A and B are shown apart, each in its own frame.
Chain A
Amino acid sequence: MSIFIDQKTKVIIQGITGQEGSYWTKHMKEMGTKIVAGVTPGKEGQQVEGIPVFHSLRRAAERFDFDAALLFVPPRFTKDAVWEALDAGIKKIVTVADGIPLHDAIQIRQAAKAAGALVIGGNTSGVISPGKAMMGFFPYWLERVYKPGRIGVMTRSGSLTNEVTAMVVKAGLGISTLIGIGGDPVPGTRFAEMLPYYQRDQETEAVVIIGELGGTMEEEVAGAIKAQIYNKPLVAFLAGRTAPPGQRMGHAGAIITGGKGSVEDKIIALTEAGALVAERPSEVGRLLHQLL
């Protein structure tokens, strides 16, 4: 088994009829993802890649069971769509939208916690267990990146994921489950909150985190290792080591503010906890072999 998603996970897609939604539905299905239904208000009766579309999640729930919801919904409607999924009792939600309002993100994270659900994202490519299934948009056909294996990956950056994961594969390893935590300042789920899942997963031998400047998520990972919540090997690559303070480097969350969020601080915390930090993407494979 893998974490979060495999070929048995029943997925519903909110926003399935949109351009992105329908395009990636095709790819997810081709890869082997079990997509049971889709939702787009006003489009009930239509089909996307042979998958039935419903006006609402409640109406779809009368006909189907699902384990997870994937949102291809614009950022301004994301809060509503997350609430709709939570209302249906779904405990695994992935929202890929880039541009979710900050105050909405706070409420989403809070509501997910209260419901005991995991919301992954926004501003992410989603979640993939290579060779099994995916929720989101990964070019899973790139064999030099998305090769099945025993390394878990968590990332704050889509573009860097390909770069770093290719190095894992180049080192003769592969990926168990890759979770795109996302590049927003308030992601629904944080790195350290996924570590217990990787800890329990028998298919994961080690985890690579792809972090960057800003926030405290990498420090929380160090805390989880110290607290023995996670004790498998962990390698980190962190972008923005030489970034000037106060400068937002692309992602809204990637900024050193209030004296917090520098990559140097993150390296110190992770190293003290026993993790290894790669200075360059090309070192990730070597460091993994060192620990395995």
Chain B
Amino acid sequence: MKLFEYQAKEVFTGYQIPTPVGMVIENRAELAAVLPKIGFPCVLKAQVLRGGRGKAGLIQFASSAAEATKKVEDLLVSPDNVRKILVEQAVQIERELYLAVTVDPFKARVILIACSEGGVDIETLAADAPEKIIKEEVDLNIGLMPFQARDLAYRLGLQGAVAKQAAAIITGLYQIFCQYDAELVEINPLFYTKDDTLVAGDGKLIIDGNSSFRQTGYKKTREYYVSDAEYEAAQAGIPYIQFTGDIGLMCAGAGLTTTVYDLINYQGGTVANYLEFGGPNYQKAVKAMELCLKSPSKVILIVTFGTIARADVMAEGVVKAIRKLKPDRPIVTCIRGTNEDQALKILQEEGLECLFDTEEAVRKAVELVARRDYG
């Protein structure tokens, strides 16, 4: 679960990581109330979870109340579904650094990543100038040793009081990583101010979804999702991703669904939505189809090859869903696994297009889209 910047910064504050003076607003009236406390120039940062906010115009500067008001109004009606804006005091910046804590899956270690050139896309920098990326490994069972934090600060080229501050920030980030069961904690950029102190310019905190039973501080409400359908699917425990193409997927298993996604692209088709109803969801065919019908697809493609899920149970579920929801678009099925012969019979009796080979089913779905478009 990725938190919003303002939430990450709230967490930072509790771990001695300085952040710019700032407040969250949702409308014009709230802006008017906070501006006197923030002053000018100020920064208006749209609270959305997507990356590349700067380039997308979702971070704006203002040097007067009139300018701030105009820009806030524009942000609130932007297509990115902006609900909250973080209003911050502009910081006098000397330069920008980078700090992060994440996981090294191969070594089974926590890894601290630092760079004296922040603010940029760290992936690009890692590819172009890997020697500039500083890394430090930490054993999760032992924890971060103070010397490691100090050493990292010195390797960043910092001296004196600011090196000490950097070590404290690194320690705080590591503590957050552990306390919040994080996949990633990142400060990019970490401002080095004109008066030689460090301030977190941005904040990213991604909490491991598998730890939600012990990380109960944040509820995944609608604002964490891009679309209503994605939110509704998450509520039902069904993996769902919204795309903009023609073929709605209702498949079983992550690997197979992703493969069907590829095969459709190879075949010149496009995907309307990714949806998994396999594994523990295999009895949720009605809900799955209901979600599928929400995306404006032209064809629904059902591909499964069950391990736990029985093919006949899935076929019965699909038939039940069709009878209940009466879909207005063609459906192609390719349901295999335990009791697949029985499944075939159930689907054929319902008059459904039944195929037994994934690639053939994909071709059929792409062909049906073409027929709907031109036929």
Min distance, Cβ B338 to any Cβ of chain A, angstroms: 5
- A242 and B126: CB pair below 8 A? no
Indicate whether A183 reaches chain B with its CB closer than 8 angstroms: yes
- A102 and B306: CB pair below 8 A? no
| Interface locus among B61-69, B105-113, B164-172, B343-351 | B105-113
Interface centre among B259, B305, B308 (most CB of A within 10 A): B259
Known contacts A102-B208, A249-B274; is A159 also within 8 Å of B307 by CB? yes
Min distance, Cβ A50 to any Cβ of chain B, angstroms: 24
- B103 and A250: CB pair below 8 A? no
- A240 and B208: CB pair below 8 A? no
Q: Mark A200-228, 1 if CB is under 8 A from B, else 0.
A: 00000000001011011000100000000
- A100 and B261: CB pair below 8 A? no
- Contact residue among B181, B256, B262, B307 (Cβ-Cβ distance under 8 Å from A241): B262
- B338 and A252: CB pair below 8 A? no
Known contacts A102-B181, A109-B108, A186-B108; is A247 also within 8 Å of B241 by CB? yes
Known contacts A107-B141, A110-B140, A242-B265; is A159 also within 8 Å of B256 by CB? yes
Which of chain B's residues have a CB closer than 8 A to the CB of A186? 103, 105, 108
- B306 and A139: CB pair below 8 A? yes
Known contacts A139-B338, A249-B261; is A166 also within 8 Å of B305 by CB? yes
Q: Mark B139-165, 1 if CB is under 8 A from A, else 0.
A: 111000000000000000000000000
- A159 and B241: CB pair below 8 A? no
Min distance, Cβ A41 to any Cβ of chain B, angstroms: 19
Which of chain A's residues have a CB closer than 8 A to the CB of B210? 75, 99-102, 252
Q: Mark B93-109, 1 if CB is under 8 A from A, else 0.
A: 00000000001011011
Indicate whether B266 reaches chain A with its CB closer than 8 angstroms: yes
- B181 and A183: CB pair below 8 A? no
Q: Mark B307-338, 1 if CB is under 8 A from A, else 0.
A: 11000000000000000000000000000111
- The contact size tier of chain A is 35 or more
Q: Which residue in chain B gives the minimum CB-CB distance to A187? A: B105
Which of chain B's residues have a CB closer than 8 A to the CB of A281? 259, 358-359
Could you tell me how many residues of chain B have their Cβ less than 8 Å away from some Cβ of chain A? 55
Interface centre among B109, B241, B276, B359 (most CB of A within 10 A): B241
Indicate whether B278 reaches chain A with its CB closer than 8 angstroms: yes
Indicate whether A197 reaches chain B with its CB closer than 8 angstroms: no
Which of chain A's residues have a CB closer than 8 A to the CB of B122? 258
Min distance, Cβ B273 to any Cβ of chain A, angstroms: 12
How many Å lie between the Cα of A215 and that of B104 in the bound state?
10
- Contact residue among B211, B261, B266, B308 (Cβ-Cβ distance under 8 Å from A102): B211
Interface centre among B262, B304, B357 (most CB of A within 10 A): B262
Min distance, Cβ A170 to any Cβ of chain B, angstroms: 10
Known contacts A75-B210, A252-B209; is A212 also within 8 Å of B258 by CB? yes
- A250 and B254: CB pair below 8 A? yes
Q: Mark A240-272, 1 if CB is under 8 A from B, else 0.
A: 111100110111111000110000000000000
A interface list, Cβ under 8 A from B: 75-76, 98-103, 106-107, 109-110, 113, 125, 137-139, 141-142, 155-163, 166, 183, 185-187, 190, 210, 212-213, 215-216, 220, 239-243, 246-247, 249-254, 258-259, 279-282
